[in-house]
Amino acid sequence: MAKRKAPEPTKTTSKTKARQFDKAAAKQRVKEIVPILRKTYPNAKVALNFTNPLELLIATILSAQCTDVRVNIVTQDLFKKYTSVSDWVDADVRQIEEDIRTTGFFRNKAQNIKGACTRLAAEHHGRVPQTMDELTALPGVGRKTANVVLGNAFGIPGIVCDTHVIRLSRRLALSDNSDPVKLEFDLADIVPKKDWTLFSHLLVFHGRNVCKARKPNCPECPIAACCPAANRPDRW
């Protein structure tokens, strides 16, 4: 019986090779786009209204699956009613639910807010902590919320990976990760630490105004010359 011929090894072509992420190019791209975006959006900042770290923490928890505009409408009266950690701790959770109902997912949010404030009172003397580990130990607080609070309430650099930052980072080839945590660490490697908070705001502003999800306005984009996806629908 004739021996069967062993199959030849599959040849790997350039098309089958996984695209390798160019970190050096990404870092250079950040260096080029930050000054342009800074000039384009000189007033880029967090869109949530707040006067102290506690208010920003609460507002950020409320912003999950809700627009910043809606949150600001709700917190306008909310922060007059609840002015301290003890106010939230003493409040009936059902009343909190009613007060935040229009932000959506109000039951979970009410539980998280009351739980977070209870922890603040018991473990932090009623003050919002200033470290990632302590913040993410609070109910309802992940890295995104913690970075919002750190960067905007305490001036501690933090990269906030919301939907705009994720989308623009992919289009600008700043990372090959869409997972928020992995992306955060990727961006931290290529964005100067002093610019972390501002960089997040700049991408959010650009994502809302120009580089929109369904149809980015590439012809009017000030950083189109630096963007690998500009005028490339296949990369949107």
Residue 77 known to be catalytic: no
Residue 90 known to be catalytic: no
Other CB atoms within a 10 A radius of the CB of residue 163 amount to: 11
Write down the pLDDT at residue 15.
Answer: 38
> Any binding-site annotation on 66?
no
Integer Cα distance of 32 and 37 in angstroms? 9
Integer Cα distance of 232 and 236 in angstroms? 7
Write down the pLDDT at residue 207.
Answer: 97
| pLDDT values of the chain reduced to their tens digit, one per residue, 236 residues | 444 444 444 443 333 334 568 999 999 999 999 999 999 999 999 999 999 999 999 999 999 999 999 999 999 999 999 999 999 999 999 999 999 999 999 999 999 999 999 999 999 999 999 999 999 999 999 999 999 999 999 999 999 999 999 999 999 999 999 999 999 999 999 999 999 999 999 999 999 999 999 999 999 999 999 999 998 988 88
Residue pointed to by tokens 């949107």: 236
Q: Are 106 and 114 in contact, with CB atoms under 8 Å apart?
A: no
Torsion, CA 157, CA 103, CA 119, CA 134, rounded to 10: -20
Name the catalytic one among 68, 162, 176, 195.
162
> Any binding-site annotation on 218?
yes
Q: Are 82 and 113 in contact, with CB atoms under 8 Å apart?
A: no
Name the catalytic one among 99, 109, 114, 144.
144
The amino acid sitting at 29 is R
CATH class of 23-45+158-235: mainly alpha
SS3 content of the chain, % helix, strand, coil (to 5): 60, 0, 40
Q: Are 112 and 88 in contact, with CB atoms under 8 Å apart?
A: no
Q: Are 151 and 157 in contact, with CB atoms under 8 Å apart?
A: yes
Instruction: Give me the architecture of the 53-153 domain, per CATH.
Output: Orthogonal Bundle (1.10)
Q: Do domains 23-45+158-235 and 53-153 have the same CATH topology?
A: no
Domain boundaries, the chain: 23-45+158-235, 53-153
